[in-house]
Structure 1
Amino acid sequence: LNSYWVGEDGRSKWFEIILVNKVILSQQHNFQSQKARITQQNLVNLASQKRRANRGLTASGRRVRNLVKGPQRKNPNKRKQKKANPNKRKIRP
């Protein structure tokens, strides 16, 4: 259903992945409200929700593509901007 970055070293990167078991989801209906149950079932069953991670629609994928809401969109990290635009750096003689 979703994934996010956990950590990395020089060789590997680790991501936490949230998976949904449809059988357990149908058994949990006693513990959730009707609206929450319908929302979760729609996320699992809709064709538009298939392969979300491959299409960059998870939270971490949207962050990488700079589609986030909130302070990071209005005030992005200055260091990342410098790395993305190395030609704009001043060259000292």
Structure 2
Amino acid sequence: MIPEGSKILMFLGAANHDPDRWTDPERLDLTRDSSGHVGFGMGLHQCVGQRVARLEAEVLLTALARRVESFEFMAEPRRHANNTLRAWESLPVRVRTAA
């Protein structure tokens, strides 16, 4: 419970990482039931550009799936320190294209 009149601070980087709501929230699971998540403007407030962003992501991922055989980490990924967003500082990968 948050007492009346209290101030709170919300961090976007914490979105969808509540272990009481999400099983293993730090793991990418494309089969996870996404109902209730706050990504891509779900819920009461929706981002106007979300349809464009979804289309861009679909086009990019479809093109990659056709051309890329595998991704290989070349070094340990490093997170970018940020109080409000989750981001990568370094994500070195090797991309192997399909023959």
TM-score category (smaller protein): under 0.3
Bigger radius of gyration among the two: 1
TM-score (norm 1): 0.25
- Structure with bigger helix share is 1
TM-score (norm 2): 0.24
